[in-house]
Amino acid sequence: MNDVESEPPVLSAAQAGSAAIAQLGELTPKQILGATSTEPTEDGWLVEIEVLEDRRIPSSSDMLALYEVEIDEDGNLLAYHRTRRYARGSADIGGRGQR
């Protein structure tokens, strides 16, 4: 029996988050607030990113959004889409899968 060790991911979770933020930043003029989660996939990483969609006064009523960004093992964008839009002051109703 061949004991073949699986190769470690090319990118770390932190590097994947940074790469996804950079890729999304090239596609939107909106202010990116940061990555909220990173998850390895078969082909790379799935990164959830929080974005300031609409600045309002007071700032507690700003409109934010979560985007899922898929990148490959080299940090190249595969796909992205907005999964949720909400007011900054709203309560968190749960993580991924509870939209």
pLDDT in tens, 37-46: 999 999 899 9
Backbone CA torsion sign across 66, 67, 70, 75: negative
Predicted model pTM: 0.79
How far is Cα 61 from Cα 90, in angstroms, rounded to an integer? 9
pLDDT in tens, 23-76: 999 999 999 999 999 999 998 999 999 999 988 778 777 899 999 999 999 999
All structural domains of the chain, each given as residue ranges with its CATH number in brackets, are 13-87 (3.10.450)
